[in-house]
Amino acid sequence: MNLDLTDQQRLVRDAAERFFAAECPADVVRAAERDAFSPDLWAKAVAAGFVAMRASEAAGGADADLLEAALLCEQAGRRLAPIPLVDALAAARLLGEVGGDVTELHEGPLLLGAGAGRRIVATGGKLAIVAPDGSAASLASGPAALDRHAAALAERDLLSAAWLVGAAQEAVAMAAAYAAQRRQFGKPIGAFQAVAHPLANAATDLDAGRLLVWRAIWAIAAGRDDAGASIAMARWWAATAARRAARTALRSFGGYGLSLESDIQLYFTAINRAALIDGDPDAALAEVGDRLWAGEATALPETRDPGIDFGFGAAAERFANEARRFFEAELTDQLRATAHHSTDGHDPGFHRKLAAAGLAYPDWPRRWGGAERSPYEVSALARVFEEYRWTRVPIGITNMGARMVMQFGSPELQKEVLPRLAEGAALSCLGFSEPDSGSDIYAARTRAVRDGDDWIIDGQKMFTTGAHIADYVLLLARTDASQPKHRGLTIFFVPLMLPGVSIRPVHTLQDERTNISFYDQVRVPDRYRLGPVDGGMAVMAAAMAIEHGGEGYHVLQHSLLDAALRWARTADAGGCAPIDDRAVRTRIARVATHVELADLLCRRATWATATARSSRATGPMAKLFATESYMADTADLMALAAPASLDPATPALVEIEEKHRQAIGQTIYGGTSEIHRTIIAEQALGLPRAG
């Protein structure tokens, strides 16, 4: 997997950034007014070589790859460049392919889509250049020419998506800068969740949009069957997310944003124009469904290998296949019958087999029983677990406790607990939340008081999922009540069999048992302490870095889409299946697009971990988008299949209904969506801390 640009791609991006920053200030955009065209900027873009860069060198262009063109359009979007660059790039490539004259573009723009001006159109089995007065000049004819025209339209869709992402990201950046400075009620307005959280949503959506554009280009170059669907996905999502982001950005300025003197209103107008110029963006969503499930083919633009790669790699594929062979051999019918998405699906014997096969904790250091597998291999493995609907909840929460022992535990503690965990003989759980503090885990009241070589722990923990099957709990306790809330905290790895520990079940809407655990004068030897006394913040930061990722949540979206398609492909007595209806395909296409977007954010987080590129916002963006879109999509599928989904009678509908109840919890576990929005607002947008 690789998300690094090549030197050439960075050169194009940086040159475009400098060009549009110098040549397209806001007054140029204003001067272009409703025509959205600046003849002067057009001439400069032609002279810079941007307009014809996608044409072959033989036709007078630079034979730029599609990703270079997307990077150019993104920078043009950031400055709302009032020239039809998107159309021109695709038209230049088309002219070169059908024997036209690329210098046509020196005289003025050539459009492929809607808009006033000269256009290349396909009519009567041939291509022609049609002038505004209706006169036409023949350009080319025949099936090959028509296919190239269709491919140019697909390229235009993709480049338009890049332009919209760039424009909307700039609008959000402007709003964030304003919100960080504008003060109201004694503090910057960016410190208020009502301002910060919608901007965090927009930033996440647009990052996902850029990745989807890149993914479509990668799919085209790789000759993937879903490349055409990816283009339509990118067009729909960019238009939808950019319009939403533009509204959010404008509202962040309050009444000042409505003034025609403000620059932000220029973005609102230009983004809406670019997103809607070809009609309702949801038409692209219908095309996604047609291309994925109705056999509709589409011509694709040509491009070289862009260098980026969204695959997990050959090693990860081999490891995933190894895991599939294990499940096929060891997952008996009896085990399949007892499988469950929660800890209720845990089987001690099967868990030991997983551990022995290197499938429980494959990325652990070899000294502690792991194989030091890469993050790519671990992500690929998680998807196999979900293919077989086998729970990873006990493994996930045990992994966090074990990682903290590896990093902060004494050699004595490591020797005692890590071998047991590695071989699958023991599990751990998490003891952070409390009944009165919820997600505000640092408001913990559970006390730990030093008594010689021991600690006496008193208190209770809420949502200690897995405590009833676990042997240890990673427990946050207050060791110095005189210090501020975020200080005076210490982490312990407490054996749950100690006297004074009791566990009471809490049954939930999503058919999942969690627990409330009580600690009454529990005497814990000091060797179970992790990190220094009152140094719990460092341990918690390391733990949250593991928990604030989206991959463990996102895998559920794949099985949701699988269930939706199984339902949609099931024919009734008359031989008709829901998927035969274009409206149904469109609804499921929205789910498929959300799955793709979440997948890309999670893959980026995996790549960032593997290459040490992580920021504090990378994981939260993946987790936020994955869980929020999962919750929305389960609700939409319930409505789509209603009323049968209310009393499900088929395995597919049973799974959709279960996931509908389960989905809400996913937006709470691992830090609520509100916490993740706050992190994104502060870390990705530079907004002040919430007060």
Give the per-residue pLDDT at 188. Answer: 94
Q: Which residue is associated with the tokens 């009454």? A: 520
Q: Is the peptide bond before 643 cis (omega within 30 degrees of 0)?
A: yes
d(CA 335, CA 161): 46
Give the per-residue pLDDT at 550. Answer: 63
Contact 320, 384 (CB under 8 A): yes
Q: Which strands make up the sheet holding 126-130, listed edge to edge?
A: 119-123, 126-130, 136-141
CA distances from 197 to 235, 386, 644, 687 (A): 25, 31, 36, 10
Instruction: Assess whether pLDDT exceeds 70 at residue 387.
Output: yes
pLDDT tens track for 47-106? 999 999 999 998 989 999 999 999 999 999 999 999 999 999 999 999 999 988 898 888
What's the residue count for the chain?
691
Question: Taking the C-alpha atoms of 277, 278, 282 and 284 in order, what is their torsion angle to the nearest 10 degrees?
Answer: -130
506: confidence class by pLDDT, cuts 50, 70, 90:
very high
Residue type, 243: R
Q: Which residue is associated with the tokens 């042997």? A: 471
CA 193 to chain centroid: 21
Q: What is the CA radius of gyration of the chain?
A: 28
547: confidence class by pLDDT, cuts 50, 70, 90:
low
d(CA 562, CA 577): 16
CA distances from 13 to 5, 47, 238, 331 (A): 10, 17, 19, 51
Instruction: Assess whether pLDDT exceeds 90 at residue 548.
Output: no
Structure tokens belonging to residue 10? 């960075």
pLDDT tens track for 599-656? 999 999 999 999 988 888 999 999 999 999 999 999 999 999 999 999 999 999 999 9
Q: What is the DSSP string of 88-119?
A: HHHHHHHHHHHT--TTHHHHS--BSSSSSS-E
d(CA 78, CA 540): 38
CA 127 to chain centroid: 40
SS3 at position 65 = coil
**Mean pLDDT, rounded, for 479-508:** 92
SS3 at position 254 = helix
Instruction: Assess whether pLDDT exceeds 70 at residue 383.
Output: yes
Give the per-residue pLDDT at 108. Answer: 86
- Give the global pTM: 0.95
Dmax over Cα atoms in the chain, in whole Å? 96
Instruction: Assess whether pLDDT exceeds 80 at residue 34.
Output: no
Structure tokens belonging to residue 513? 């048992």
Closest residue by Cα to residue 585 from 286, 297, 295: 286
pLDDT tens track for 553-598? 899 999 999 999 999 999 999 999 999 999 999 999 999 999 999 9
484: confidence class by pLDDT, cuts 50, 70, 90:
confident
Question: Taking the C-alpha atoms of 152, 153, 155 and 158 in order, what is their torsion angle to the nearest 10 degrees?
Answer: 170
d(CA 68, CA 71): 5
d(CA 339, CA 347): 9
SS3 at position 415 = helix
Contact 442, 488 (CB under 8 A): no
DSSP-derived secondary structure letter, 472: E
Residue type, 229: A
CA 303 to chain centroid: 25
CA 169 to chain centroid: 16
**Domains, in order of start, for the chain:** 7-293 (1.20.140.10), 324-373+387-546 (2.40.110.10), 548-683 (1.20.140.10)
Q: Is 302 exposed, middle or buried (0-12, 13-18, 19+ CB in 10 A)?
A: middle
pLDDT tens track for 263-292? 999 999 999 999 999 999 999 999 999 999
Contact 548, 620 (CB under 8 A): yes
Structure tokens belonging to residue 554? 């996102």
**Mean pLDDT, rounded, for 673-685:** 95
pLDDT tens track for 164-183? 999 999 999 999 999 999 99
